[in-house]
Chain A
Amino acid sequence: MKMDERALPQTTLAQSQPLKKKSGPPVKRLIWPGIIFVAIMTQIPFIVTIYYSLQEWNILRPAQGVQFVGLSNFIDALTSSHFLHVVLNTFILTFCSILLCLILGMAFALMLNRNFFAKGLVRTMMVSPFFVMPAVAGIVWKTMVFDPSFGFSYFIANVTATQPIEWLSHYPLAAIIMIITWQWAPFFMLVLLAGLQSLPQDQLEAASLDGASNTQKIFYVIIPHLFRYLEVVTMLGLIFILQIFGQIYVTTSGGPGFSSTNLTFLTYRDAFQNWEIGQGSAVGVIAVIITLIVMMFLFNILRRRFKEELS
């Protein structure tokens, strides 16, 4: 078996009929351990969370005990004046971050998909932020960039003789989007770069022969080819960026007011700053439901797409 990965016949599993199941048992043996383990680690705690969400439980008042209160935690959460604000923040944060990551990731990938001196080093420098701990990233940006008395914000204001922009007070959401983009655009770049490098060269040449301009090439050849990569990286980004916590925690603590609180952070505020476990659990459950609805929607689009390809 010493064939090259790439020299093989090009019928892959995705394009051919999947194997018929040969026998029942092996499949089950393959799948069940994973399902059981993940269920124990994530579903059982979630079910308990649902149970907690129906209770009134303030950890700091053990004398009050734990009381069943039905759906009142949910009603409180949904009717509170900040709830819509927080949901909106979550969407803005996620949408803008992913959009920026896509644009910048694409731009970086195009920049790196050429030959030039010290290309490896440049790529290495660019991916680095992705490996930095979220909390450290937050602190570095808070101190180095956003601080109006010591950071770049001050420096730029000095150079242009204006008042420094108070990012964390006045544009907290934008500030957090910047940090997320700094960390995640490199990852988007890596995936899209992979996509670019798998682009068949003859297609590009054909396009050139047809007299296509560079922009035309990007829109008619490159982006369609990259579609799958874009989908995947968006999905992965979505999973993580929806849950952003550390960056918010160390920079704005969700404030001022609720202006940079997302659903994850609201859960934290209720459960661990206010110690209302029931209330926090209810917010957590709502967050899961909202996310599931959005993801189901996206997943359906994805599925429809690749069903078309199969047929």
Chain B
Amino acid sequence: MRSLRSGLGTFFTYIVAFLWFFPVLWLFITGFKTEGAASQFPPSFIFQPIFEHYHLVWSHGALHYLINSAEITILSTALSLLLGVPVAYALAVYRLKHADDILFWFISTRFLPIAGVIIPIYVFFQSLGLLDTQLVLILVYAGMNTPLVIWMMRSFFKDIPYDLIESSQVDGASGLQGFFKITLPLVRSGLVSTILICMVFAWNEFFFAITLTYTNASTMPVYMAQFMSQEGLFWAQMSAAATIAILPVLLLGWFSQKSLVRGLTMGAVKG
């Protein structure tokens, strides 16, 4: 009886997982269809796969955009860690007068609707002659992600056993050494979760990317946009482009999800 019930539960889980995943799966499949077959209804499940769209998308300079995306994502994440982790550490470890206010201020910076601040940002970077450089997006994404880093890392630091931090500070070694040798490894899985979330948002961001870049520094979502046509039937081509665009971050997510769960567990995510 009991095993039957659990078997049913498992079966149900499989079905739900399949349904949830289906749109993504369908995107993959459609990329291998001809445009005609892609907009056909009822959809065909058995068809001659073609690689034309992937080939076309790839030969259309996707690599340039992928490299931009990768560099911008990595560097902006690194920058936001560099700036955010110390703040998080300070907020978690030291007794500060306005710790809560500082934290709230950081989080509140995330409430600005991007459309409301984009023009000042555009004008600002234009006056510095930085439009269409990777630096612009690195800075902007770091600005966007630093508050997240602070908020998440703070809760992980708070979970570190008290004695350890103290010993890391009392030991003759310089504070920095203690931090890297003792403290940081303790929050490793938390750090991985934080990095992953920063990377996902930097990779997928569209509005800043399309506004602040032209060709040199454009990222994958901008590249995607040219396949999201309002004038023509490019559903299959769009699917191929979308697959290429989401695959890197999807793989990253798949491989690190265990860390993600572990990271979130150990943090016990303290408010």
Cβ proximity bits B209-223 to A, threshold 8 Å, 1 near / 0 not: 000000000000100
B157 / chain A contacts, CB cutoff of 8 Å: 13
Question: A11 to B86, Cβ gap below 8 A?
Answer: no
Question: B250 to A155, Cβ gap below 8 A?
Answer: no
Question: A49 to B24, Cβ gap below 8 A?
Answer: no
Q: How far is the CB of A184 from chain B (nearest CB, A)?
A: 12
Q: Which residue of the partner chain B has the closest CB to A1?
A: B182
> Any chain A CB within 8 A of the CB of B180?
no
Task: Report the number of A-B residue pairs with Cβ-Cβ less than 8 Å.
Answer: 308
Question: B161 to A11, Cβ gap below 8 A?
Answer: yes
Contact of A122 among B17, B117, B119, B186 (CB under 8 A): B17
Q: How far is the CB of A160 from chain B (nearest CB, A)?
A: 15
> Any chain B CB within 8 A of the CB of A96?
no
A21 / chain B contacts, CB cutoff of 8 Å: 94-96
Question: B116 to A34, Cβ gap below 8 A?
Answer: no
Are A34 and B162 CB-contacts (below 8 A) given A132-B24, A190-B261? no
Cβ proximity bits B16-31 to A, threshold 8 Å, 1 near / 0 not: 1110110110110000
Question: A242 to B111, Cβ gap below 8 A?
Answer: yes
Question: A228 to B250, Cβ gap below 8 A?
Answer: no
Question: Which of B117, B120, B270 neighbours the largest number of chain A CB atoms within 10 Å of its CB?
Answer: B117
Question: A124 to B95, Cβ gap below 8 A?
Answer: no
Q: How far is the CB of A97 from chain B (nearest CB, A)?
A: 16
Question: B86 to A30, Cβ gap below 8 A?
Answer: yes
Q: How far is the CB of B268 from chain A (nearest CB, A)?
A: 6
> Any chain B CB within 8 A of the CB of A231?
yes
Q: How far is the CB of A285 from chain B (nearest CB, A)?
A: 7
Q: How far is the CB of A105 from chain B (nearest CB, A)?
A: 12
Question: B249 to A131, Cβ gap below 8 A?
Answer: yes
Q: Which residue of the partner chain A has the closest CB to B182?
A: A1
Are A14 and B18 CB-contacts (below 8 A) given A116-B13, A242-B111, A283-B116? no
Are A228 and B269 CB-contacts (below 8 A) given A11-B163, A239-B110, A271-B115? yes
Contact of B119 among A123, A250, A263, A277 (CB under 8 A): A277
Q: How far is the CB of A167 from chain B (nearest CB, A)?
A: 15
> Any chain B CB within 8 A of the CB of A264?
yes
B260 / chain A contacts, CB cutoff of 8 Å: 190, 194
B95 / chain A contacts, CB cutoff of 8 Å: 18-21
User: Which residues of B from 154 to 192 have beta carbons under 8 Å from A?
Assistant: 155, 157-166, 169, 175, 181-182, 186
Are A232 and B175 CB-contacts (below 8 A) given A191-B264, A243-B114, A305-B271? no
How many chain A residues touch B (Cβ–Cβ < 8 Å)?
112
Q: Which residue of the partner chain A has the closest CB to B87?
A: A34
Q: How far is the CA of A52 from the CA of B120 in the complex (A)?
A: 9
Q: How far is the CA of A267 from the CA of B119 in the complex (A)?
A: 12
A211 / chain B contacts, CB cutoff of 8 Å: none
Question: B117 to A190, Cβ gap below 8 A?
Answer: no
Question: B271 to A38, Cβ gap below 8 A?
Answer: no
Q: How far is the CB of A281 from chain B (nearest CB, A)?
A: 6
A48 / chain B contacts, CB cutoff of 8 Å: 117, 120, 123-124
A191 / chain B contacts, CB cutoff of 8 Å: 264, 269
> Any chain A CB within 8 A of the CB of B51?
no
Are A122 and B13 CB-contacts (below 8 A) given A37-B146, A114-B6, A267-B113? yes
Q: How far is the CA of A244 from the CA of B101 in the complex (A)?
A: 26
Question: A42 to B159, Cβ gap below 8 A?
Answer: no
How many chain B residues touch A (Cβ–Cβ < 8 Å)?
105
A33 / chain B contacts, CB cutoff of 8 Å: 83, 86
Q: Which residue of the partner chain B has the closest CB to A270?
A: B115
Question: Which of B112, B159, B169 neighbours the largest number of chain A CB atoms within 10 Å of its CB?
Answer: B112
Are A41 and B271 CB-contacts (below 8 A) given A245-B115, A288-B112? no
Are A139 and B238 CB-contacts (below 8 A) given A13-B160, A194-B262? yes
Question: A125 to B21, Cβ gap below 8 A?
Answer: yes
Question: A306 to B270, Cβ gap below 8 A?
Answer: yes
Cβ proximity bits A102-142 to B, threshold 8 Å, 1 near / 0 not: 00000010011010110000111111111111111101110
> Any chain A CB within 8 A of the CB of B198?
no
A287 / chain B contacts, CB cutoff of 8 Å: 111, 113, 116
Contact of A52 among B119, B169, B238 (CB under 8 A): B119
> Any chain B CB within 8 A of the CB of A99?
no
Q: How far is the CB of A62 from chain B (nearest CB, A)?
A: 15
Q: How far is the CA of A68 from the CA of B264 in the complex (A)?
A: 49
A228 / chain B contacts, CB cutoff of 8 Å: 268-271
> Any chain A CB within 8 A of the CB of B78?
no
Are A292 and B108 CB-contacts (below 8 A) given A1-B181, A303-B100? yes
Question: B115 to A268, Cβ gap below 8 A?
Answer: yes
Question: A264 to B115, Cβ gap below 8 A?
Answer: yes
5 shortest interchain CB distances as A-B pairs: A284-B116, A41-B143, A194-B264, A48-B120, A125-B21
Given A13-B165, A277-B119, list of 11 further CB < 8 A pairs?
Answer: A1-B182, A19-B169, A38-B106, A125-B21, A129-B20, A132-B246, A193-B261, A233-B269, A239-B110, A243-B113, A280-B116
Q: List 6 A-B contacts (CB under 8 A).
A: A14-B158, A31-B96, A34-B106, A45-B124, A135-B225, A285-B116
